A and B are shown apart, each in its own frame.
Chain A
Amino acid sequence: MTASTTFGCDVANVVYERGQRQAFCGLAGIVWLHRKIQDAFFLVVGSRTCAHLLQSAAGVMIFAEPRFATAILQERDLAGMADCNQELDRVVAEVLGRRPDIKSLFLVGSCPSEVIKLDLNKAAERLSAQYQGRVQVFDYSGSGLDTTFTQGEDTCLLALVPHLPALPATERNLLILGTLPDVVEDQFTRLFTELGINTVHFLPPRRIEALPPVGAGTTLLLAQPFLGETARALQKRGATLLTAPYPFGVEGTLGWLRAATEAWGIAAERLDAVTAAPIARAQQALSRQRALLSGKRITFLPDSQLEIPLARFLARECGMELVEVATPFLERQLMAPELALLPAGVRLTEGQDLEAQLERLRTDRPDLTVCGLGLANPLEAEGLRTKWSIELVFSPVHGFDQAADLAELFARPLVRGALLQV
């Protein structure tokens, strides 16, 4: 960024588009959620298409035993509803018989199950009662009708909120919301401990048995931007939502930690002292990536709602020029601190009309395009360098010590492009 750049984006300038969408549905969230929550099983109630999506997304991992499956609706299930509930009970019994180690079961709604109005909420209540003391049963929707990609995590965590234990009135805790890789969770826990915040909980937890408590003493910090529904539900249970940028890069992580320390009444000097070393380390590592990224033009196609925070990081800390930043869904309140940091006048798009967007992309010809795997190779073949976006959800990218790794994810395709002589 040049010194003359001004910051702060007005949401009024966001262009809303609708049309063909090239995005995953919320079922894709299962691919990382089932690795994070180790005692959970995800049972999609849907069609062969849903099963096919899941195995296409997760199929390269060869599991000895996957912790997700699909109850595929058959012709006779579509005929009558009562039958469907019996069928579901039978399938659940089969799953739990095969996996006696499972402590929680998520019934995941899909487009077909929603169109036929199969009441998975009732089914979850019924099955919870039936397996009481052994397995907890939850339900949420991961359908494409309702959710785009990472929103599947939002609806999943939302289903957990009513089951969180109450935080005793005299206690406070810091609740970090959003799936983080275990290594990042541990880093943050260490940082908060050094800062003097000792009661830190994470949602989702690694095991459903260890659901974090929530109450009036809960301070809520979002690690992921796509969790609006869950955040609101936690607020209804008394939690106070902190306003902060998301913990990507040095600036985002520091702002994120600061929100917590301010709420906790911890002196700014303490924050500076604790973060000085990690920041210095991150800056040093980032400088190498900045040299590769600075001045390069980047476009984000809509995918995960991570686009705006990542664009902010790449613009302000890596010196990239933002051409278009598109997001599947713009949660204005949750994104306000990020929008304030974006360079003014950036072209922001909410939603998607794929063909029109690709035409703009071909006119813009940015140095790097962040997009899904359905588009990446075809765009590469047109001579555009791409960074496939799903990786950003699967890699440790939060926090100081991952700042350079995050930048490297964007630098790598450019380095590779320069390297290859064939």
Chain B
Amino acid sequence: MQLTLWSYEGPPHIGAMRIVTSMTGVHLVLHAPQGDTYADLLFTMIERRSQRPPVSYTSFQARELGGDTAELVKRTIQETFDRFRPQLILIGESCTAELIQDQPGALAQGMELPIPVLALELPAYTRKENWGASETFYQLVRGLLKSRVPAPGTERELRHSRARPLANLLGPTALGFRCRDDVVEITRLLDSIGVGVNVVAPLGASPQDVLRLPEADFNVCLYPEIADQTCDWLRRSFGQPTIKTVPIGIGAIHDFIAEIGRVAGIDVGTTVAPSSARMAWYSRSVDSTYLTGKRVFIFGDATHAVAAARMATEELGLMVVGLGTYAREFAREVREAAKRYGVEPLITDDYLEVEARVAEAHPELVLGTQMERHIAKRLGVPCAVISAPAHIQDFPARYAPQMGFEGANVIFDTWVHPLMMGLEEHLITMFREDFEFHEGAAPSHLGGMATRPALTAAVVPEEAAAEETPATTWAMEAEQELKKIPFFVRGKARRNTERFAQERGITTITVETLYDAKAHFGR
């Protein structure tokens, strides 16, 4: 058993639901107990979809367990087919159905429906949501296209008289973080370099669209967590190369364009950013100077976390003090990135472990998921959301991509917003005893109440106590002096000073020790 306060991902059948809800003409029959329909809410509420997800549930209850649940499965499949007339039916099980082993996939195959029926294996006790989505998408694409795979050794037909190379955009799904607008932004970006979009899938695609996937010259793997496996299969089966750079951030956009240029054999050397690309200038403008070296902790799915780390360091001048992901399948990418920024990678789906690591790193900004908002609130640290899982406010009405040039604009605003503005920060440092404008007050543009006490009360003493050897104590004046350090770097200063003292065998930390340590570590 694993104690879980918050889980980063749902079970794998939620991933399957994300694929079918993204598409048209596909229906999922889910063998699941009464109550599992809660998942519909994710789509109708969080994403505010105006249609029910194309999912039928068997809704078995205790009294059915004594009887014939297999018959219930067959009836649900038949009724689903009769009512919705989908072009393709997927059959899956939720975690409870997996235990009773009715083999709904085999039952469905035996019914000989006049449409393709694909059975999904979704191991609910070992795998999670993104894996479920990736597997479902792969099975669906493979199921529809495997009869069309050319014989091995067949020469791939080259792009002929078409003026523009064509790309598939693979990976965007329902409930994906900003997928809706990323697709628009990337379609625009591709158009600006003379590349057309063949099929976007799964978001908005029908089974017919999936059949057209091989017509593209290459695949753009926008969300590797969802489409990596599918892109790989398409490459092996149809010889379509995959564009692997995820275009989040200015640097990544340029790499993305260059990669397409190489793969598609087109000249992209003259590509210029559109006039609406403001992020780079905003970050260079003097107002942003105070962002330099701000300590940032990053956690999310691997794709967004790695992209955020690059943007944070190269494009905003922040310092990454923590980098991690809950997606074990993509741990390698995060480990490599962590090495670049000289931090210990954090690969875990344990919320409590993330919380401990954030507290320990004393960041001035947390970039994470909905869960890190909980952590940041508890610790009183500013926070912005960069990755799923996200709540309703991160499925906004306005155009809010993360990818492409507009995505970089959006990210600049989103990340800087929770931080205290430069002048405010200076004044709070200069005048410690201002009765309105004190360190515990939240940034004035955010209004609301101070959240700071949670950190000083709950986390710092605990942690300081744990790290402090009994031999090191703070002289009263030194403790007073420490309080004059701006609160968002104070935790770090305390830790550094104690480390400095311990390394030198200093038992009582004085004001002198504090400044010696400050000089030693610098900022």
A interface with B by C-beta (< 8 Å): 19-28, 45, 47-49, 51-53, 55-57, 59-60, 62-66, 69-75, 77-78, 84, 87-88, 90-91, 94-95, 98, 111-112, 114-116, 143-146, 148, 355, 372-378, 380-381
User: In the bound complex, do residue B11 and residue A377 qualify as a contact, i.e. CB atoms below 8 Å apart?
Assistant: no
Most chain B beta carbons < 10 A, residue from A19, A45, A66? A19
Binding-face segment, B92-100, B226-234, B260-268, B333-341: B92-100
B3 and A112 contacting across the interface, CB-CB below 8 Å: no
**Chain A residue at smallest Cβ distance from B37:** A22
Whether A21 contacts B37 in the complex (CB less than 8 A), given A49-B94, A59-B370, A375-B52, comes out as: yes
**A376 CB to nearest B CB, Å:** 7
Q: Output the least CB separation between A75 and chain B (Å).
A: 5
Which residues from chain B contact A60 at a C-beta distance below 8 Å? 391-392
CA A355 – CA B84 in complex, angstroms?
11
Q: Please, which residues of chain B bring their CB within 8 A of the CB of A19?
A: 59
In the complex, chain A residues whose CB is within 8 Å of the CB of B65: 115, 145
- Contact B7 A47, beta carbon cutoff 8 Å: no
Known: A49-B11, A144-B34. A69 touches B3 (CB 8 A): yes
Say yes or no: is B128 at the interface (Cβ < 8 Å to chain A). yes
Closest to A114 in B: B62
Is B282 interfacial (CB-CB < 8 Å)? no
A69 with B374: CB separation less than 8 A: no
Specify which chain B residues have a CB less than 8 angstroms from the CB of A23 in the assembled complex.
34-35, 37
Task: Kindly list 7 other residue pairs between chains A and B, CB separation below 8 angstroms, not including A64-B454, A373-B45, A377-B44.
Answer: A19-B59, A22-B37, A56-B38, A64-B378, A74-B126, A144-B35, A378-B44
Name the 7 nearest CB pairs between A and B, nearest first: A25-B35, A144-B35, A374-B40, A381-B50, A47-B95, A111-B96, A52-B10
Interface flag for B353 (CB, 8 Å): no
CB distance from A246 to the nearest CB of B (A): 24
Bound complex: CA A22 to CA B65 (Å): 19
Q: Please, how many angstroms separate the alpha-carbon atoms of A369 and B370 in the complex?
A: 32
Count contacts on B: residues with CB < 8 A to the other chain.
59
Query: Does residue B124 face the partner (Cβ distance < 8 Å to A)?
Result: yes
Q: In the assembled complex, which residues on chain B have CB atoms less than 8 Å from the CB atom of A55?
A: 6-7
CB closest residue in chain A, given B128:
A48
A187 to chain B, nearest CB (A): 29
Q: Is the CB of B35 within 8 A of A112?
A: no
Chain B 15-73 residues near chain A, CB threshold 8 A: 33-42, 44-46, 48-52, 56-62, 65
Give the complex CA separation of A57 and B45 in angstroms: 11
Task: Assess whether B5 is interfacial by the CB under 8 Å rule.
Answer: yes
Partner of B378, one of A49, A65, A72, A146: A65
A48 pairs with B37, CB closer than 8 A: no
> Which residues on B sit within 8 Å (CB–CB) of A21?
34, 37, 57, 59
Q: Is the CB of B6 within 8 A of A380?
A: no
In the assembled complex, 21 residue pairs joining A and B whose CB atoms fall closer than 8 Å, in A order, are A28-B38, A47-B95, A48-B9, A48-B124, A49-B11, A51-B6, A53-B35, A65-B378, A72-B1, A72-B4, A72-B7, A90-B1, A91-B2, A111-B35, A111-B96, A144-B36, A145-B34, A145-B65, A377-B48, A378-B44, A378-B52
Q: Which residue of A lies closest to B124 (CB)?
A: A47
Taking a contact as CB atoms closer than 8 A, the residue among B4, B50, B126, B370 that contacts A71 in the complex is B4
Residues of B within 8 A of A380 (CB): 50
Output the least CB separation between B69 and chain A (Å): 11
A49-B124, A56-B42, A146-B62 known; A115-B34 Cβ under 8 A? no
* Contact flag A20-B60 (CB < 8 Å), given A48-B124, A374-B40: no
Task: Output the nearest chain B residue to A48 by Cβ-Cβ distance.
Answer: B11
B94 to chain A, nearest CB (A): 6
**B254 contacts chain A at the CB level, 8 A cutoff:** no
User: Knowing A112-B95, A375-B52, A378-B44 touch, does A143 contact B4 (C-beta < 8 A)?
Assistant: no
**CB closest residue in chain B, given A68:** B5
Answer whether residue B523 sits at the interface, using C-beta atoms and an 8 A cutoff.
no
B150 → chain A closest CB, angstroms: 39
Partner of A373, one of B4, B35, B41, B454: B41
B496 at interface (Cβ–Cβ under 8 A)? no
Q: Nearest-CB distance from A161 to chain B (Å)? A: 21
Least CB distance, A88 to chain B, in whole angstroms: 6
Among B2, B46, B76, B352, residue most surrounded by chain A Cβ atoms (within 10 Å): B2
B74 at the interface (CB under 8 A from A): no
- Report the minimal beta-carbon distance from A145 to chain B, rounded to whole angstroms: 4
Minimum CB–CB distance from B66 to chain A (whole Å) comes to: 11
The answer on a CB contact under 8 Å between B45 and A377 is yes
User: Does B377 sit within 8 A of A, measured CB to CB?
Assistant: yes
Q: Is the CB of B373 within 8 A of A62?
A: yes
B79 at the interface (CB under 8 A from A): yes
Residue on A with the closest CB to B48? Answer: A377
Report B118-157 CB contacts with A as 1/0, cut-off 8 Å. Answer: 0000001110100000000000000000000000000000
Provided the pairs A56-B41, A62-B373, A378-B52 are in contact, do residues A20 and B58 lie with their beta carbons within 8 angstroms? yes
Q: Choose among B40, B58, B96, B374 the residue that contacts A47 (Cβ–Cβ < 8 A).
A: B96
B83 at the interface (CB under 8 A from A): yes
Contact with A along B259-278 (1 / 0, CB 8 A): 00000000000000000000
Q: Which chain B residue lies CB-closest to A390? A: B41
Q: Complex formed: what's the CA distance from A260 to B56 in Å?
A: 46
Question: Whole-angstrom distance between the alpha carbons of A25 and B57 in the complex?
Answer: 14
CB within 8 A of B1: which of A27, A74, A143? Answer: A74
